[in-house]
């Protein structure tokens, strides 16, 4: 399914695109007259300031989507452009209860090695990759594995917190509140 929905304002229309398996596909063109009300609605749902149209903003909300009405976490971001605000919606339909290492698609050897690293008493595991590559999914699965096999106290520092995990103190990096990776 789609991982992102983009609504980009042009001079006379708004272009709706979706990202599926990393590939951006044009979906439809909307009349420019509905662009501001549409973006405003998503801003309200995401708890953004609807009056602010000259600064980038981000927010989040939950919505039930698809034929099974699966509860989906949606991250929203708006960015001002010369033709209006560009809206990006990131769809995160992952059930954190089902995030396990063996569901990540790793080879048996890689899975065993990674699981062994999560069992270490000290150290750091660093994952990097482009947006949508599975960094958060992998980290949350590793954290759940660690919690199940080696109980303790767990703290994460995330930008942003993608999913709530019971038993973990999750800190969201928020530069507007002066909480960042530097502090």
The per-residue pLDDT for range 66-86, each reduced to its tens digit, is 888 888 889 999 999 999 999
The per-residue pLDDT for range 126-154, each reduced to its tens digit, is 888 877 778 888 888 998 888 888 888 88
In DSSP terms, which residues pair with 66 in a beta bridge? none
C-alpha 36/C-alpha 93 separation (Å) is 27
- The whole-angstrom distance between residue 61's C-alpha and the CA centroid of its chain comes to 11
| The pLDDT value given to residue 181 | 44
Low-confidence ranges of the chain (pLDDT < 70): 93-98, 175-183
| The pLDDT value given to residue 10 | 97
What are the DSSP E strand ranges found in the chain? 2-9, 13-20, 23-31, 57-65, 70-81, 84-92, 154-158, 168-172
What 3-state class would DSSP assign to 20? strand
C-alpha 81/C-alpha 102 separation (Å) is 43
| The pLDDT value given to residue 94 | 59
Contact status, residue 14 vs residue 39, Cβ threshold 8 Å: no
What 3-state class would DSSP assign to 152? coil
The answer, as to whether pTM is greater than 0.85, is no
Q: State the virtual CA torsion across 157, 160, 165, 167 in degrees, nearest 10.
A: 30
| The pLDDT value given to residue 179 | 40
What are the residue ranges of CATH 3.30.450.90 in the chain?
2-92
| The pLDDT value given to residue 131 | 72
In DSSP terms, which residues pair with 25 in a beta bridge? 18
Class of domain 2-92: alpha beta
**Which is it for the CA torsion 143, 144, 145, 150, positive or negative?**
positive
């Amino acid at each position: 399914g789609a991982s992102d929905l983009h609504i980009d304002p042009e001079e006379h229309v708004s272009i709706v695109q979706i990202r599926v398996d990393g590939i951006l596909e044009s979906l439809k063109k909307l009349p420019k007259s509905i662009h501001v009300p549409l973006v405003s609605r998503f801003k309200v749902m995401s708890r953004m300031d609807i009056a602010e149209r000259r600064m980038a903003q981000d927010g989040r909300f939950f919505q039930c989507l698809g034929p099974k009405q699966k509860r989906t976490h949606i991250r929203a971001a708006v960015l001002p452009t010369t033709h209006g605000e560009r809206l990006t919606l990131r769809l995160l339909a992952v059930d954190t209860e089902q995030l396990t290492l063996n569901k990540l698609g790793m080879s048996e050897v890689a899975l065993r090695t990674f699981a062994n690293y999560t069992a270490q008493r000290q150290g750091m595991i660093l994952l990097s990759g482009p947006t949508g590559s599975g960094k958060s999914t992998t980290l949350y699965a590793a954290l759940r594995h660690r919690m199940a096999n080696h109980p303790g106290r767990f703290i994460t520092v995330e930008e942003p917190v993608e999913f709530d995990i019971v038993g973990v103190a999750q800190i969201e990096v928020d530069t507007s509140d002066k909480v960042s990776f530097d502090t």
